Structures are given as C-alpha cells and as structure tokens.
A and B are shown apart, each in its own frame.
Chain A
Amino acid sequence: MIIFDDVWKFPKSRRAKVPLLAGVNCVFEKTGNVAILCQRERDVTLLVNLLTGTEHPDRGRVIRRGAVSWPMGDLVSVKGSLTVRDNLRFVARIYGLDADAFVKYISELADFGKDLNLPMSTLDRAKKQIASYAAVLAVPFDWYVLSSKIKVQEKAVSDIIQAAFRSRLNHASAIVITDDVETALSVGGRGVLFRDGRFDHTESVEHAAQLFLGG
C-alpha cells in the first residue's frame, strides 16, 4: 500500500502562494492499476518524485509499504564511465538480487552480449533505454511507475519488453503518471485527474481521459 497522507508541496519561490499540491490524500493498493493524468510536465515530475521518494513533501507524509520502481525507461543512477555490466550489477546489489543472474537475464532479453563490457556512455540513447526497461522489469517490484509510453524501436525487443511488463503486472500494479492521454490509456485501470493541486478520482482511466481532453 502507498498512502499519500495530507501531502502539501509549495513552489520554491516565496512569492508564489499557490501550492503545487494542496493536501492530497490517496491510497494505492497493491492490486489494480492507476493512471494519474496531469496538465503540466512539471506536475508529472513532482508526483513521480514524491511517489518514489526521491523528493519529500513540505507537509504531510508519503508512506510506502512495498517496493516502488524507479520511473520505467528513466536512466536513474547510470554512471557513464562505468561499464554496462557494472551499472547493472549495482542495481542488482541494491535490490539484493543475484548480480550474475540479473545481468544474464537482461543481456539475453535485450541482446546485450557484446556491449556488456563497454562504458555506458558509449551506448546510444535507445540502447540505454532498453537496458533501463529490462533492468526495471528484472526486479520484482510491487509497483511499476510509468511516466511515458514504453517506446522501443526494434519490434522484437519491444514485444519481449511488453510481454515481460504484462507478466509482471500479474503480481504487481502499474502507476502511470503522465501528461499524455495515450500513455495513460496504454495500461488501463482506475483514473485520477490531477488538477489545481488536488486529485479528482474518476471511475476509469477512459473517463478521466475524456474529462482531461474536455477541459
């Protein structure tokens, strides 16, 4: 369970008085996907950071009972000068997974065989992102955070990643936080509209999308 307990967040400049988050209360259960639609990109970043815990609320609490993923596809904690293998091993160690099995799984999934010993910075962005998707899916999280649609050029790799994501969602949930309707609809589930620093709960993500597009 993730609980937003009266969460407030204020803008950094003191003159602006309108809060970014005005006492948000929300519960995310371990089962059931949720899509949160935001008007602005910066709201997406803020909500993602609060949810994953990389940013702290100014008032209130975010309680996490379970493991939350980093935003899928984001290249968090990647050090360009380290090899692909070392970067992946670090993630495995952090989450207490068998590092060799972890690296092997990802290299097979995304066909990384030759690139494993290259510095991360020599990979192109697409390849890095594949590594990130594969890494996030190799960790058994309780929640997978998605802020933009899974985009992989190669059809074969894309299919594998989508399949892996679906099979993960059998035992975990997706939390989609986005300003893009298509991304929100790609997973489905409960819909939440983030407006004026508050959550408006709707019955489904389709309903939320209608309201979002309507105004």
Chain B
Amino acid sequence: MAEGIGTTVVAPPGVGLGRPLAARARIVFAIVLRQMKIRSGEDRFGYLKEILEPVVIISMLSLMLTIRRGAAPPVGDSYPLFIATGYLPFKAYSYLSSDVRRSAGRDSGILGLPAVHALDALFATVALKALTVLLIMIIVMLGMNLIGYRVIPGDPLDVLQAFFWVSLFGVGFGLVSSVMLEIVPMYKWVHKILTFKLLFVSGVFFLPELMPPEIRYYLAFNPLLHAIAWFRSAFIDGFDSWVLDRGYLVWWSISLFAAGLLVTRVFRTRLSDEGAAHKEEDEFA
C-alpha cells in the first residue's frame, strides 16, 4: 500500500516555489469553495436571508418615505428606485468590511496549513463576498423590474465602477478595523458609529444637493456619500450629481486599502497569535 503513494497521487507542480501565481489562484479557489460549503451547510436558507434583508429594508424605507413625502422622489421614477440605488452600494460597503474584518488574521483554521497565507484567505473572502453582494444586487433589481418598477441602469459600466470603488473602500476599512480593534480599545466605540450610523449621513435617504450648504459642506467629507452619489448618477438617467467628486472616493479607497495591507502586515505577529488561539478552538469543535 505504501508504495502506492507515488503512483496514486502525483507530485503537483507549485507546492514549493514553482508557478507561484497559478498556485496562489488554486489555493484562493479552494478556500472559496470551502467557505461556500461551510456556509450552505450551516444555514440552509443563508443566501435566501441575505437576499431578503435588502428587499425588506428597501420596501420599508420606500413605504415610509412615500407616505411622508408623497409619490415623487427627488430624482428617478420611484422611491424604491431611489432607496435601492442608495442602500445597495451602502450594503456592499458594510457587507465587505464586516466580513473582511472578521476573517483577517483569524480565519477558521485554514491558516494552519503551511501552504495557505493570510493574503490567500483575504483574497478568497473578498472574491466570494464581492460576487455575493453583486449577485444580491442583480437579483433585487431584477425582482423590482418584475413587480413593475423600472430599475435599469443607465450606464452599467459606470455602475460597476462605482461598485468596485465602494467595495475596495469596504475591504480597506475592514482591514484597518481588524487591526485597530485589536490594538486600540477605544476604537470599538468609533467603529460602531462608523459602521451603522454612517447609513444616516451617506445620502441613502436624501439627496445631498437638497441639503443646506453648511450641512452639505460637512457631509461631503464622507466618502460613502460620494459612492452613493456616483452609483445614483450612473444608474438614474438624466441625473448627474454635482456634489459628486469621483476622485475623492477613489483616493480614499486606494489609501485605505494600502493602509489596511500595511497595518495587517506590520501587526501580523499580534494578530496571528489570536488566530492560533482561535484555530485550536475550531479543531475540537
């Protein structure tokens, strides 16, 4: 039997140094498959819930705003369209940032395999979550079209661009948070505000153009406001936000992502200690 090893299992290229890029891609893909399996095994209706959540929020908010302010939103044909184009990019940000934060440095034991690096786990999480959130968006929008709301992106490529930058912003924010939560105890408090409360000042429910100038001045510092303005401008025909500064969001996203990679690398010894403790728990679960 022992002699069978060499013949039944062929030595792979890329276990050591050969073809590092192909090997990395293979490892990332393996982690993605595994995370999907874990997810569907733990919660049969997990993905259904994730699609229902934005549906419920969008319909409730639309209903509230329609009752309060009448049928016509500031821009676009309907309140559901207005809220969806605000909430979905925000969702991309919050979804990616929270999952990246949770998986950075402490994934469910996969880092115990010497071939798996922390960056592989990060790329796998980002790829899987970004695709999931994109799928959620598409399904929600198709659904809205089916029930009679006209939700068709005016400039699909520009919508994807906005999605890309807000996702990168979320990833960067998640990476920075994962380290900050570990080393600055006070940050917990800031983090709470930065995740949930940002929903109210990012222009999901309102249009920054209609705000008083002195308030708008301060609101415009929030990169997410620009992300949502970008998304809406690309989506809604005939609307072009003049508050929007695309470069501002792009710079925030790139800087935050770079800073995130840097701090997770600098503090990796501290983070991986936590990860090791977590790994042992997982083994015996």
Contact = CB atoms under 8 A, between A and B. Distances in A.
B10 A93 contact: no
A105 B269 contact: no
A12 interface: yes
B272 A160 contact: no
Interface string A177-211: 00000000000000000000000000000000000
Contact of A54 (B1, B4, B8, B272): B272
B9 A55 contact: no
Contacts, number: 131
A91 B268 CA distance: 24
Contacts of A90: 30, 33-34, 110
Contacts of B110: 77, 90
Interface residues of B, number: 46
B116 interface: yes
A82 B283 contact: no
A166 B3 CA distance: 10
A61 B5 CA distance: 33
Contacts of A109: 1
Interface string B89-116: 0000000000000000000111111111
A55 B5 contact: no
Contacts of B283: 74-76, 78
B2 A167 contact: yes
A92 B99 CA distance: 26
B216 to A, nearest CB: 47
B156 interface: no
Contacts of A151: none
Contact of A77 (B1, B14, B112, B272): B112
Interface in B109-165: 109-116
B70 interface: no
Given A81-B41, A81-B42, A93 B112 contact: no
Interface secondary structure of B, over-half rule: helix
Contacts of B115: 67, 94-95
Nearest to A58: B269
Contact of B5 (A49, A69, A168): A168
A134 B42 CA distance: 27
B101 to A, nearest CB: 21
Given A90-B30, A98-B9, A140 B112 contact: no
Interface stretch (B15-23, B57-65, B71-79, B236-244): B15-23
B11 interface: yes
Nearest to A161: B2
A164 B30 contact: no
A99 B38 CA distance: 18
Interface in B168-190: none
Contact of A70 (B2, B38, B114): B114
Interface in B21-54: 23, 26-27, 29-30, 33-34, 37-38, 41-42
B116 A94 contact: yes
Nearest to A165: B2
Interface in A80-135: 80-82, 86, 90-91, 93-98, 101-102, 104-105, 108-109, 121
A101 B6 CA distance: 11
A105 B6 CA distance: 11
Given A93-B33, A96-B15, A164 B5 contact: yes
For the complex of A and B, 6 pairs with smallest distance between CB atoms: A76-B112, A96-B12, A93-B30, A163-B2, A52-B114, A164-B2
Interface of B: 1-6, 8-17, 23, 26-27, 29-30, 33-34, 37-38, 41-42, 108-116, 268-269, 272-273, 276, 279, 282-285
Given A67-B16, A137-B5, A164-B5, 8 more contacts: A54-B276, A55-B272, A55-B273, A74-B112, A94-B26, A94-B116, A95-B115, A142-B16
